Structure 1
Amino acid sequence: MADEHGINGGRILVVAFEGWNDAGEAASGAAQALIDHLDLVEIGAVDPELYYDYQFTRPTVAMGDDGVRRLTWPGARLLGPAPQQFAGDDRVTGPGAEQVHVLIGAEPARTWKGFASEIVDGALSAGIEVVIFLGAMLADAPHTRPLSVFVSSDNAEVRDELGIDRSSYEGPVGILSVLSDASERAGIPTLSLWASVPHYVHNSPSPKAVLALLSKLEDITGLSVPRGSLESDAAAWEAGVDALAADDEDMAAYIEQLEQARDTVDSPEASGEAIAQEFEKYLRRRGDGRGDPRGEEPWRPRD
């Protein structure tokens, strides 16, 4: 069934947006890693005047190689394979690598239904067989352990074939959920990959989360994505967080609690009851102020 949906060797569209869906810039970073190692050209773009609030997502100005300053407007671009592609050691390989499309941009501020309709029309015109959404969320995840990636799909056949779950989340959503719903309604199967980013380092990009998303994408699609400097960047990022924790006893203690909870869940002998008990202890610790996001931890993001 995976082959039937184009997940392995078919024409896939990988989607990532900056903003609400992009903790630690992990999703946009993973999409950019694909772009950097594929021969892609722009085959479509939305009109930013229709969908963006420039006071919320401002245009930027930068100096070009010719010494001329140019504005870049927020938007979303659909990139597809270039007519002539070149082989090399530094490019994405694997089944269907020459058919990978990428949609990247900033989350729109308005007219989401129209935006979704335009994007889905572009996907249908490009013959996309499956859409893979990349997201990243802040979570109680220790930076010292492998960062988990939750994979889900609203498509029953995709879930059965890949052995994944349907998300049970209820609450506010970002543009990824809107696009997923529109794609499924148009007959394009979808799945979502969400990386967990440690909330206590939420202000900095997380190359370790980028790597986690790329690894999961490879597992699902069979693609192989060059890492470039990502692995050394991830090691430097982890060392930097270690240094911050070394100067803050409360932060270090909190990270240790997260590590213990994670290790309990990951241990092969862990039973469901043991896991539940460990997390109940963890929640009680949060309740007495040691893990309260409004408590005594200035390094934890506040509402």
Structure 2
Amino acid sequence: MADRLVHIVDDVAELDGVDELTLVLVLDGFLDAGNAAARAAQHLSDLDDGGSVVATFDVDQFHDYRARRPAMSFVQDHYEAYDAPRLAVRLLHDTGGTPYLLLNGPEPDNRWEAFCRAVREVVERFGVTRTVAMGSVPMAVPHTRPIALTSHANDPSLITGESPWRGELRIPSSAQSLLEIRLGEWGHAALGFVAHIPHYLAQLDFPQASASLLEQVEIGGRLTIDLSGLLAEAEDRAVEIARYLEANAELGEVVAALERQYDAFERAEESGSNLLAPDQPLPSGEELGQQFEQFLAGLEGPDDDKSGS
């Protein structure tokens, strides 16, 4: 089954004799608020000029073209430049020359179990010792506070930070999260990080979160990554957002309410008291929706030269 779903390059001499090999995983589509994980994956690829492809998946087996229609160009009287979806594994190198793999592309819409088996073949063919995933979700948090992350793994010894969650949460599944479970069942280490993105920035690029994710990948994947480009993008975005908030006092008040709630939660965590912090209520969903629609419209307006960054 896996042979028909993934094609693996037979001879990758550079990986012969490598004792430890990290596979970085980013599946676009679901866990990517603020485009944080996809931008982080693109940054890794750009640092090594795209690297070299060592495995490709049969996207036709996984992709729902009617649900996520690829773009193409219509030029005057004909079609051209079809942007075909591609799910591939690339061989890259960190800043110290250490080789690692990057599996990136659209999240499979179907056949998740078959996809997991195909990834297992890649892991076992190349001798991957750990898989590190990245993702991001929208949360009611302010952009002016440190980015929180949820770390997870199929082996408790791989967890790099304390979880902000208590008890059990029922959440929508993803191919990426299922893969972590299956790899654990097959005896392969897998871990990952999910960045908490301010929900008013979920539709915009938020490079600060991309940099935070890659900082964790450095630790969990034992890699060294040049983050200077992403950090420069993050500074530009922070200035852009601050400028807009200064000109929109009402929206600034909503963000200030999120800041008060965040700070109250932090104080409650430190003291072990009520984590709901009832003395610092959040703005209503209607207030947030109205204000952040204006926020997005302002950042994506014609006067904003960096809205596509």
TM-score (norm 2): 0.77
Shift of 1:269: 9.8
Shift of 1:166: 10
Residue type of the alignment partner of 2:232? S
Matched, 1:201 2:210: no
What is the aligned partner in structure 2 of residue 276 from structure 1? Answer: 275
Shift of 1:264: 4.1
Q: Which moved more, 1:215-224 or 1:106-115?
A: 215-224
Q: Distance in 2 between matches of 1:299 and 1:214?
A: 31
Matched, 1:50 2:61: yes
What is the aligned partner in structure 2 of residue 243 from structure 1? Answer: 243
Shift of 1:267: 6.0
Hey, which bits of structure 1, 4+ residues long, moved more than 6 A?
none
Shift of 1:233: 1.3
Q: Distance in 1 between matches of 2:27 and 2:269?
A: 39
Q: Distance in 2 between matches of 1:297 and 1:141?
A: 14
Q: Distance in 1 between matches of 2:100 and 2:170?
A: 31
Counterpart selection for 1:21 from 31, 43, 48: 31
Shift of 1:228: 4.2
What is the aligned partner in structure 2 of residue 220 from structure 1? Answer: 220
Residues 203-223 of structure 1 show CA distances to partners (whole Å, capped at 9, x for unaligned) of 111111111111222233442
Q: Is the 8 A contact 1:45 1:78 kept in 2?
A: yes
Residues 231-274 of structure 1 show CA distances to partners (whole Å, capped at 9, x for unaligned) of 2211121222223333433421121122223334556994121x
Q: Distance in 1 between matches of 2:115 and 2:191?
A: 19
Matched, 1:93 2:104: no
The change in CA–CA distance for 1:43 and 1:166 in structure 2 (over 3 A counts) is farther
Q: Is the 8 A contact 1:293 1:300 kept in 2?
A: no
Matched, 1:59 2:70: yes
Aligned with 1:205: secondary structure? Answer: coil
Q: Distance in 2 between matches of 1:50 and 1:11?
A: 28
Identical counterparts, % of pairs = 22
Q: Distance in 2 between matches of 1:260 and 1:230?
A: 28
Unpaired segments ≥5 residues, structure 1: 1-8, 82-90
Q: Is the 8 A contact 1:27 1:135 kept in 2?
A: yes
Aligned length: 268
What is the aligned partner in structure 1 of residue 44 from structure 2? Answer: 34
TM-score (norm 1): 0.78
Shift of 1:12: 0.7
Shift of 1:296: 6.2
Mapping of residues 71-86 of structure 1, within 5 Å: 71-81=82-92
Q: Distance in 2 between matches of 1:128 and 1:242?
A: 43
Unpaired segments ≥5 residues, structure 2: 1-18, 294-309
Aligned with 2:226: secondary structure? Answer: coil
The change in CA–CA distance for 1:203 and 1:272 in structure 2 (over 3 A counts) is same
CA RMSD of aligned residues (A): 2.8
Residue type of the alignment partner of 2:219? D
Residue type of the alignment partner of 2:132? I
What is the aligned partner in structure 2 of residue 233 from structure 1? Answer: 233
Q: Distance in 2 between matches of 1:128 and 1:269?
A: 38
Q: Is the 8 A contact 1:74 1:106 kept in 2?
A: yes
Shift of 1:116: 1.7
Q: Distance in 1 between matches of 2:124 and 2:279?
A: 49
The change in CA–CA distance for 1:265 and 1:276 in structure 2 (over 3 A counts) is closer
